[in-house]
Amino acid sequence: MYNTKKEIRTFMKKLRKQMSLGEVLEKSKKIIGTLFSLPEVKKAKVLLFYVAKDNEVQTSDAIDIALSLGKRVFIPITDKKTRSIKFSEIFKDWRNHMTRGAYNILEPTEDYRKIDEKIHETADVVVVPGLAFDEKCGRMGWGGGYYDKFLRLVSSKTIKIGLAYDFQVLKEIPMTERDQRVDIIVTEKRVIRCK
């Protein structure tokens, strides 16, 4: 099996790239359906989502569902200079106010941004992307540390949920003390709970 973070990242990127659009959409739909069946998500008032890039688990529909349920929704804006992410609140017309930001990820246009500097203290749920996860809820991102940095700040009451295709969940991945675990992982086949 692949042992180093670099090997795992390369392997997962390759596997994800090989997925067809149909497969991505079908599996994402199952994952999002399961996500909204979780009691933690049902009762959450403030949700932080990532905006999917390439073949990541797609989140646009999840954002729409959350907004239609009257939940407050925030998405990230990446700052390469400070290697950090801030979260901006979005509303039902969000799709009309997006632009390509850092790493070609969609984010709110300048005039649409409503950044909450204290969101790490008040968010009920943070939905987190990842390249690989493990059965102990370990998470591996792209290596920039953006989400790890943010997750270190969130309240202990905030539930961290990783979305992944089932092949992205390995028995174990190498973790350092800087790497942040999630509490729950949702795939198209199962829900893994670690909290």
pLDDT values of the chain reduced to their tens digit, one per residue, 195 residues: 567 888 898 899 999 999 999 999 999 999 999 999 999 999 999 999 999 998 999 999 999 999 999 999 999 999 988 888 999 999 999 999 999 998 889 999 999 999 989 999 999 999 999 999 999 999 998 878 899 999 999 999 999 999 999 999 999 999 888 889 999 999 999 999 997
Of 40, 6, 39, which Cα lies nearest the Cα of 140?
Answer: 6
Token digits for 45?
A: 């008032």
CA distance 190 to 177: 27
Q: Where are the alpha helices (DSSP H) in 18-145?
A: 21-35, 39-43, 60-68, 119-122
Domains of the chain: 5-193 (3.40.50.10420)
Is residue 76 a contact partner of residue 86, using CB atoms and an 8 Å limit? Answer: yes
CA-based R_g, the chain, Å: 16
Residue 2's pLDDT is 66
